[in-house]
Amino acid sequence: EATTRRITRAFFAAHSLDELAERSDYWLGQQGRLTEPMVLREGSRHYEPIAWDDAFDLIAQNLRALDDPDDAIFYTSGRTSNEAAFVYQLFVRAFGTNNLPDCSNMCHESSGSALGETIGIGKGTVTLADVENADLILIAGQNPGTNHPRMLSSLERAKDNGARIVAINPLVEAGLSNFHNPQRVRGVIGKGTELADEYCQIRLGGDLAFFQAVGALLIDADDAGEDVLDHEFIAQYTSGFDEYRRHVAEIDWDDVHAATGLERAQIERVAQMVATAKSVVVCWAMGLTQHRQSVPMIREIVNVLLLQGNIGRAGAGACPVRGHSNVQGDRTVGINEHPPAAFLDAIDREFAITAPREHGLDVVNAIRAMRDGQARVFIGMGGNFIRATPDSRVTEAAVRNLDLTVTISTKLNGSHAICGRQSIILPTLGRTERDIAAGGEQVVTVEDSMGMVHASRGRLEPADPDLHSEVAIVCEIAKRTVGAAGTIDWDAMRGDYRRIRGHIERVVPGFDNFEQRIATPGGFALPNGPRDARQFATDDGKAHFTTNPIEVLHLEPGRLILQTIRSHDQFNTTIYGLNDRYRGISAGRRVVFVNPADLRELGVSDGDRVDLVSEWPTSAGVEERRAHAFRVVSYPTARGCAAAYFPETNV
């Protein structure tokens, strides 16, 4: 956000829509900050300037002209603040729809689903203090060195406190193998910190089998008299243990080996570490959440934690790590296509409206609706919908099928070039910039992966004095579209975000004394029943053991399993540079990492150029997808697996 580069109307006059569509997201992002509203008129191939008032009126006219509010889709990125997200969902529900897909649908929905089913809350149960004071930390499908540097510092403190760490990942990650903390002298001139005590180089998709095998070994050890399980916790706080016990007693170790690619001896070493640990934290991220089997995979992690009572005590628990700064907070304050009835009831009471009760569209169903002509307007607050979504060819055609797309953005990305017949770009303030409204300088809040709510105040001068904040943009569109719905005062909320926080306090449980508590250094923790009091909001009030069958991905000869990854100079879909220093890649992203033994079997050499071909079974047969011209990199990934960057492989 702090770049000094600026995109002006001259840029759009010089670059047609077709040219922008051919440019990489890296190139688009490097052009600088957006500074004035732009419009693409139907039939034109160039964006042109539009006044703020005219842009707001055009958006409102298109929304009011819809036959049904459900013909509009309102997307949200996790970088949006609690205040902006709350007024956004309020506008959408006053308009009459729950079509609120968000980035969580793609990244973290499986964590929320699995945790909601098993412990009654779709969030983790740890704080950073728990991570730093854990006896044992298992990290699965997460690369803190590439994507979560703040967590790496906590892992280093955990090591200083005597923790052991197990890494479970198909790729050997430099950040977990040897962490160099630039804030410490030894991290700059010394050897760094060896974080991982055990590195399980697992086959892609094998995590369910891995954790189920660990659970089986823990039960075996307890049966042999080693006093491993927390029987008191299991009896008092859980249900389903006997069925789970019978299920894992029949585990097939040949299936475990085939699914994980790991030798039984290594899994037994990890199980022994778990068995003897005083407290265990399991961390995971998108390496686990984006599989077809991701929900049962995460349920299996919960099973292992429940066996030893590692929910609801210090230094222990479940830790799903979200990347975006407020992806969890957006959901807390109402960005949800199927919100709980209690939340909608509270909205109705607070604002004297009747929010719709029908479930809205998530990301996948939003794409289907656009594809099938059942949606006409798309508004995206932040993010890069085109590049964040899978199945690029279908998604791009679906978006081009729309009457109008609106993007609220700080910089250009692919979603500005792949757009509807009409398109409006509304430039917005970043969170690092000072936000001055009618009520003075404003502060916003976010909720992190640990359920902590923090204040966020921008310090930089805005990239342009005429930029509007996300709150201001949403409130102005809402005022011109739905007007004075119920008792909603859009101007008052736009002018003073304390008004918004007052509404959040009365609508969302856990935000009591919101305004006072955001002044607390480090923020404040939202209520978390499992963590705070071993209270589980499930149908029987207990945490649930589950039974989950192991599925083995069997490959035909000559096939590999592809995982998509981020580079070092990348955050989600935003690409800051073309280097990946952790993996030794420079000046390019069209690379595919393959185990050298697999390359020998395939008859392919390091440095060769190849196409990536994916085979997807359909009712009509096998459908092929191709990503062209990738350079092969011989790399110590798990056998039978390959890795390449997204969004290049989203096709």
Question: 25 pLDDT band (50/70/90 cuts)?
Answer: very high
pLDDT of residue 21 exceeding 90, the answer is yes
- Percentage, residues of the chain above pLDDT 70: 96
Strand pairing of 38-40 and 422-427? antiparallel
Query: Which strand (E) or helix (H) includes residue 441?
Result: strand 440-441
CA dihedral for 119, 120, 123, 127, sign (positive or negative)? negative
pLDDT of residue 323: 65
- What's the whole-number average pLDDT of the chain? 93
Interval 285-327: pLDDT, tens: 989 998 889 999 999 999 999 999 999 999 999 999 876 667 7
Tokens of residue 182, six digits: 């630039």
* 66 backbone φψ class: left, alpha, beta (φ>0; ψ -120 to 50): beta
Q: Is the C-alpha dihedral spanning 100, 103, 104, 107 positive or negative? A: positive
Q: Has residue 274 got a pLDDT over 70?
A: yes
Strand-strand pairing, 72-76 and 238-239: unpaired
In 181-246, DSSP assigns E strands to 198-200, 238-239
Going 133 to 139 to 142 to 146, the CA torsion angle's sign is: positive
What is the mean predicted confidence (pLDDT) over 570-590? 87
Question: Mean pLDDT across the stretch 95-107?
Answer: 91
Confidence of residue 575 (pLDDT cuts 50, 70, 90): confident
503-527 pLDDT, tens digit per residue, is: 999 999 999 999 999 988 888 999 9
Whether the model clears a pTM of 0.85, i.e. scores above it, the answer is: yes
> What span, in angstroms and rounded, lies between the C-alpha atoms of 215 and 303?
7
Q: Report whether 568 contacts 581 (CB < 8 A).
A: yes
Distance (Å, whole) CA 646 – CA 564 = 6
pLDDT: which is higher, 109 or 529: 529
CA dihedral 168, 78, 445, 454 (to 10 degrees): 0
Distance CA 50, CA 580 (A): 39
Q: Token pair of 80, please?
A: 């949006």
Query: What is the average pLDDT across 424-451?
Result: 94
**Which residue shows structure tokens 């700059």?**
188
Q: Closest by alpha carbon to 340, among 535, 89, 74, 80? A: 89
Give the pLDDT score at 145.
62
Handedness of CA 574, 576, 578, 581 (dihedral sign): negative
359 has pLDDT over 60: yes
Task: For 168-205, write each residue's pLDDT tens digit.
Answer: 999 988 767 665 555 554 443 445 557 889 999 999 99
Is residue 233 scored above 80 in pLDDT?
yes
Mean pLDDT across 613-636: 93
- Per-residue pLDDT, 604: 97
Question: pLDDT tens, 399-423?
Answer: 999 999 999 999 999 999 999 999 9
**Over residues 462-484, mean pLDDT:** 97
> Residue 399: what pLDDT?
98
In what side-by-side order are the strands of the sheet with 38-40?
Answer: 48-49, 38-40, 422-427, 404-409, 377-381, 72-76
Find out whether 520 and 463 touch, Cβ atoms under 8 Å: no
pLDDT of 188:
38
Residue 254, pLDDT above cutoff 90: yes
Span 462-467, average pLDDT: 97
